[in-house]
Chain A
């Protein structure tokens, strides 16, 4: 995040961003409905993975509980929509609820050093499904609940009434873009510098007047809010929620995908989301393993040992090498 999210205005970079945005905009015209819905799901996951990515890359903290914030976002969204609140307002509120929940979790955990946050968040992700099953109508208990998305119609001038999936896709794309811009601007502000300083040299940063607890709690809150937005969007795309889906395996897979994709870059979050969806899919198509968690675990191990900056780090290194050899030749 620190490097790739900074404003670098090289022409190649701008061209790449413009090309991928163009492709994303053209996508609804090219692919069929099922595939477009899958793309929406991947975009939403990018947001969740980006949340984990942001937290770990800027503060070095490990959260094994971001699945919980995805869940909080999703159930908040469902309940807000019950009150006939406009979807966009509900989205913002659900995000805020998840972010606030994140700050509450982070506050006590950050008073102590070491991997305690990993521990507390893993505990949280274990507790979430049983707690959710007891929340009655809020979560639909053990059976789950449906989400009332009737009010979520595309505006008339778009003439998308017969294509709600395209409208879903457009909204997901816009929300993800907004989050990306917000993150980039935040990290380049005074607060962002303080956050990065506190990772590089905690005590030195504290000595220079950075409020460590505030910086870390704030970052955790933002990353939890991102996960919450992801959950809220998921609730719109697939309007049926079950508290059992937000278990520790989800949180662990989110974290693993973020690290495998590559910490500290938006592209890493994109790759991470693709891995999150693609790895189980590939496994199923090839019929290799009963449980994809073995693949996730081994993937993370390989990345830790062989590619410290994730898949993206590997690609960047490869690209640089080939650019240099072209230059020499």
Chain B
């Protein structure tokens, strides 16, 4: 029982990360009808920006020992008050990713607005490759330690019926619920949210009735990519910050979003929990090797899609010839 709870708690931590990224994907899907394969890498740019913000230049410059220098710290150290505390650094990272998202929407996706979905998906695949290359180019292939916002000592846990519920897990879920609330309000209670739905259903008609289409899309990209940076900081704090780490995480977040139904924020969270739990419970109770923990969530997704193509909470659409 203790072990079972422990595995559930471990799975819930990862689940929070998948859920937040899945929320970001759903958010953008609601706003633009697009699956963004570059989301993880856009978040990585923010993650590394926050690393630059919180790494002291002296340590970075020395480059000795096992700490590799972080590109840009000497430049950032000229800012007053640098290095910044972790919360400020994450905020800067989130803003950087959000701005990058808006920039990409303006430069790339705006040009493709009249092209097919196939072309747009291709563009995000291209951005995935380009940004992954850019991050490696600027910050190198080395791994970096990344501090946690929440208390992360071995003793920082609550004992729940013998299982250790770590503060980091609680913190990740606090972030998660805050995001859900924020997006719920944004989508259901604001004019911007209404505009999202109008644009996805018919962009031309939306612009005819006076909805500022491009500005609304920019907001969608900004929020989605900002959440991406937040997710990167959670992943990096729990493991390490290194280029390419987000590809696997993003693909599992896609699985979570798909399981929940691509257009439902509630589904994204439920999907995230399902993916996180299958990832920790299946290798725990079957002979399934733990380094292949990425496989079971995919099997769950594939099987679910065969019976419910719209996911658990997704709305089905009628297609006319």
Contacts and interface: CB of A to CB of B under 8 A. Distances in A.
B179 interface: no
B281 to A, nearest CB: 18
Interface in A49-80: 60, 62, 64
A290 to B, nearest CB: 6
A106 to B, nearest CB: 11
Given A127-B294, A201-B321, A304 B133 contact: no
Contacts of B111: 305
B126 A256 contact: yes
Contacts of B128: 252, 297
A62 B129 contact: no
Nearest to B311: A112
A143 B309 CA distance: 40
Given A111-B305, A126-B248, A255-B125, A295 B298 contact: no
B133 to A, nearest CB: 3
Interface in B94-151: 108, 111-112, 115, 117-119, 121-123, 125-134, 136-137, 140-141
A60 B126 CA distance: 17
B274 to A, nearest CB: 15
Given A127-B294, A291-B136, A297-B132, A119 B122 contact: no
Interface residues of A, number: 47
Contact of B298 (A127, A252, A255, A293): A127
A112 B108 CA distance: 28
B258 A64 contact: no
Contacts of A31: none
Contact of A130 (B136, B141, B292): B292
Given A108-B306, A203-B319, A130 B291 contact: yes
A300 B126 contact: yes
B251 interface: yes
Nearest to B134: A294
Contacts of B170: none
Nearest to B248: A126
A296 interface: yes
Nearest to A299: B126
Contacts of A130: 291-292, 294
5 contacts: A60-B118, A120-B301, A126-B251, A294-B134, A297-B126
Interface of A: 60, 62, 64, 108-109, 111-116, 118-120, 122-124, 126-127, 130-131, 133-134, 201, 203-204, 207, 248, 252, 255-256, 259, 289-298, 300-301, 304-305, 308
